[in-house]
Amino acid sequence: MKIYPALDIKNGKCVRLIKGNYNDEIVFNKNPLDVVKEFEDAGSKYLHVIDLDGAKEGDTKIITIVEQIVQETSLKIQIGGGIRKYDQAKLYLDIGVDRIIFGTSAIHNQQEIKKTINEFDSNKIVVSIDALKGKIKTSGWLKNTKKNIKDLISELEMIGVQSFIYTDIEKDGTLSAPNFEYIKQFRELSTNELLIAGGISSIEDIFKLEKINIDGAIIGMALYTNQINLKNVIKNFQ
């Protein structure tokens, strides 16, 4: 089980949103690099970064911050938020980011994902499928789509996608435990790597995810509120 501490960046600061609401944020630290170094000191090998401004506006906003993290830590970084084209993905991969997370492009521009896979290999690409009550959302969780999750996974696997993130928006930032029923349904749709985000609030939640063959957990709010001790989690799972 891979453990990904989450770093969400908005206006250059480390924040958490409640249920993806841009008007309901908590600022935890003004300097993202300080937070990342705490994760590394706790023993983390991985880091999950989301550019919230980029996700909303469809542009890359935090390249300088990410480059600093790459240079000053040894973490394997996966990054998403506003990365909708090959050129944006290449920008991050060229500075040493380990993996790119595509989200909105999975619905609207799969050719950009395919091009990135062809150029950099499938192990450099993750697709995030974010859903609210089973309905897929895009553009920083602000827009609805009629796309069916099963059909979307099938389309993406056909172009070479081998890793997915499933985020339950209703649970994200709430510390109310993941929606295990939705997660089980998603797990049954694909045998490829599956990471889970949204609602993870205890080490028991992570054990439950492991039992249903989930490959990784993305943990945010529970770390920032000290409900989960990262060092302890890593000792048990990573």
The helix/strand/coil state of 48 is strand
Q: Which helix (H) or strand (E) segment is 100 a member of?
A: strand 99-102
C-alpha to C-alpha distance for 94 and 66, rounded to whole angstroms: 12
HSE-CB of 32 using CA atoms within 13 angstroms:
28
The residue assigned the tokens 């510390």 is 175
**DSSP letter for each residue of 23-40:** EEEEEEES-HHHHHHHHH
Residue 53 has φ and ψ, to the nearest 5°, of -65, -40
Which active-site residues does the annotation give?
8, 130
HSE-CB of 215 using CA atoms within 13 angstroms:
14
C-alpha to C-alpha distance for 163 and 195, rounded to whole angstroms: 8
Residue 112, phi-psi category: left (phi > 0), alpha (psi -120 to 50), beta (remainder): alpha
